[in-house]
């Protein structure tokens, strides 16, 4: 405790925000894996499993769109704590008897979880902008990379945790345990976060939820296709493919997805080392285009190898590990750019709009993941991923080639 007291207020708040985000992320990743594996075991089709997450993604889109405005009015501490409370309620909804655990009920719980997740994420990402001086862009990039990378590494741990809890305790007991732990985190967060964090001095009008910045609009569109490209194969198609084609059990499926996301998160944390830190520069629009173009090659090669039956298991798993590393650099680079481009007063508006596009990409990817896999196969999902990344690369050409872009 004496160590914490010696830290600056900004560092202490950063640690609280990060710890809050970490705890939420663990339950979010575990819940996703619990739902996918539990309902697959009950005999649900890939498309039906994808539809369980439909409201999760739809309400994530709406939350990011309106959550930025809400954060500017109420403060980011309140929106972050509201997100935690909603996740506890969502988990509690899944504790009903198995006979009441119907598809509409699970979709409603996932909808609430989607609101919770994106309130929490928007609040965490926006907070970093306010805790770093405007002339310290290198520090800002490093802090964003650490927050984003550690979150995704823990999401991977959450995948593994979800598969393990399901195998060890069953669906209901696993969900109850997560709800209890998250309730303790919520109480701590209520006491520790600054009350005025993120409140805008000039209260934005509701009509200002849409960004007027050209840079943010192009970056948001690129983010939509970037995350659609990941989720089109990752959310439903890959875990079902591993379980059915390779015959993997819950532990193996959850374990591989966990290791993939953990590795992805670790690379994200060190992304500044790959994108200009050694030369003292931070990324710009040119960096976003180059890294997206490199990433685009990966799913195309995996799909080709599987199509020609060139050691499918090695080609798929090895290729996805390479994809994960390259995707991590792209994602971390994007996360820095949006925080850098965002206006400081009412930062949550710009960040919320951007993550609305992120959620829209996940929504499109999730639905396509179940539908395309059911109608065709995993190879088709990978070709769609290639197309989406290509579109993201083209959109990145329009981004500013300098370090910051003020809103127009």
Question: Given this model, what pLDDT does residue 280 score?
Answer: 60
Identify which has the larger pLDDT, 230 or 16: 230
Say which range, 31-45, 65-79, 103-117, 261-275, has the weakest mean pLDDT.
65-79
The mean pLDDT of 218-246, rounded to a whole number, is: 92
> Among 37, 38, 18, which residue's Cα sits nearest to residue 239?
37
Answer whether residue 58 shows pLDDT above 50.
Answer: yes
Say which range, 134-138, 209-213, 224-228, has the weakest mean pLDDT.
209-213
**Would residue 315 count as lying in a domain?**
yes
The mean pLDDT of 370-398, rounded to a whole number, is: 95
Q: Which of 213-217, 235-239, 249-253, 391-395 has the highest mean pLDDT?
A: 391-395
Answer whether residue 358 shows pLDDT above 50.
Answer: yes
Q: Which parts of 199-343 fold into alpha helices (H)?
A: 214-234, 237-244, 250-269, 271-274, 285-307, 312-341
Answer whether residue 4 shows pLDDT above 60.
Answer: no
**Would residue 328 count as lying in a domain?**
yes
269 close to 153: Cβ distance less than 8 angstroms: yes
Answer whether residue 217 shows pLDDT above 70.
Answer: yes
**Would residue 62 count as lying in a domain?**
yes
**Residue 65 CB partners (closer than 8 Å, separation 6+):** 209, 352, 353, 356
In the predicted model, what is the mean pLDDT of the chain?
A: 82
Burial class (CB in 10 A: 0-12, 13-18, 19+), 117: buried
**Would residue 195 count as lying in a domain?**
yes
> Among 15, 330, 268, 20, which residue's Cα sits nearest to residue 144?
268
Question: Given this model, what pLDDT does residue 156 score?
Answer: 78
Summarised one tens digit per residue, pLDDT across range 310-319 is: 888 899 999 9
**Would residue 41 count as lying in a domain?**
yes
Answer whether residue 389 shows pLDDT above 90.
Answer: yes
Summarised one tens digit per residue, pLDDT across range 172-207 is: 899 999 999 999 989 988 887 766 565 555 555 555
Per cent of the chain over pLDDT 90 is 28
Planar angle of CA 51, 105, 165, nearest 5 degrees: 80
**Would residue 182 count as lying in a domain?**
yes
Q: At residue 94, what are phi and psi to the nearest 5 degrees?
A: -90, 5
> Among 97, 1, 102, which residue's Cα sits nearest to residue 48?
102
**Would residue 402 count as lying in a domain?**
no
Domain of 24 in residue numbering reads as: 2-396
**Would residue 403 count as lying in a domain?**
no
Say which range, 28-37, 59-68, 166-175, has the weakest mean pLDDT.
59-68
> Among 2, 57, 32, 269, which residue's Cα sits nearest to residue 148?
269
Say which range, 70-74, 218-222, 245-249, 254-258, has the weakest mean pLDDT.
70-74
Q: Measured between alpha carbons, how far is 330 from 388 in angstroms, rounded to an integer? A: 14
Answer whether residue 383 shows pLDDT above 70.
Answer: yes
What's the domain count of the chain?
Answer: 1
> Among 28, 101, 36, 30, which residue's Cα sits nearest to residue 60?
28
Question: Given this model, what pLDDT does residue 85 score?
Answer: 93
141 close to 336: Cβ distance less than 8 angstroms: yes
Question: Given this model, what pLDDT does residue 298 score?
Answer: 97
Question: Given this model, what pLDDT does residue 406 score?
Answer: 42
Identify which has the larger pLDDT, 104 or 137: 104
Q: What CATH number is associated with residue 315?
A: 1.20.1250.20
């Amino acid at each position: 405790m004496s160590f914490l007291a010696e830290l600056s207020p900004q560092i202490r708040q950063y640690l609280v925000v990060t710890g809050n985000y970490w705890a939420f992320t663990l339950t979010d990743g575990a819940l996703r894996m619990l739902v996918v594996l539990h309902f697959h075991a009950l005999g649900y089709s890939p498309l039906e499993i994808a539809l369980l997450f439909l409201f999760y993604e739809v309400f994530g889109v709406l939350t990011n769109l309106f959550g930025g405005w809400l954060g500017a009015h109420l403060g980011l501490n309140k929106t972050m704590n509201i997100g935690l409370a909603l996740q506890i309620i969502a988990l509690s909804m899944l504790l009903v008897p198995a006979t009441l655990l119907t598809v509409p009920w699970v979709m409603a719980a996932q909808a609430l979880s989607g609101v919770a997740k994106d309130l929490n994420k928007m609040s965490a990402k926006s907070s970093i902008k306010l805790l770093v001086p405007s002339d310290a862009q290198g520090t800002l990039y490093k802090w964003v990379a650490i927050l984003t990378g550690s979150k995704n590494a823990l999401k991977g741990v959450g995948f593994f945790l979800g598969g393990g809890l399901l195998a060890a305790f069953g669906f209901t007991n696993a969900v109850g345990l997560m709800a209890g732990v998250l309730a303790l985190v919520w109480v701590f967060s209520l006491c520790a976060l600054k009350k005025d964090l993120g409140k805008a001095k000039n209260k934005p009008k509701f009509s200002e939820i849409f960004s007027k910045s050209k840079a943010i609009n192009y970056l948001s569109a690129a983010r939509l296709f970037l995350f659609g490209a990941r989720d089109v194969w990752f959310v439903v198609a890959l875990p079902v493919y591993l379980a059915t084609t390779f015959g993997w059990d819950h532990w193996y499926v959850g374990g591989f997805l966990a290791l993939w996301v953990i590795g992805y998160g670790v690379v994200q944390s060190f992304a500044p080392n790959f994108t200009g830190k050694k030369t003292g520069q931070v990324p710009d629009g040119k960096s976003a285009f180059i890294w997206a173009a490199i990433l685009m090659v990966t799913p195309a090669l995996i799909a080709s190898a599987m199509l020609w039956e060139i050691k499918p298991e090695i080609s798929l798993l090895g290729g996805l590990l390479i994809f994960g590393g390259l995707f991590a650099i792209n994602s971390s680079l994007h996360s820095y750019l949006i925080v850098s481009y965002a206006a400081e007063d009412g930062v949550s508006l710009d960040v919320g709009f951007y993550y609305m596009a992120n959620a829209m990409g996940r929504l499109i990817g999730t639905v396509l993941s179940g539908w395309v896999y059911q109608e065709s196969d995993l190879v088709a999902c990978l070709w769609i991923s290639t197309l989406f990344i290509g579109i993201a690369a083209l959109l990145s050409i329009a981004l500013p080639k300098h370090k910051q872009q003020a809103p127009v």
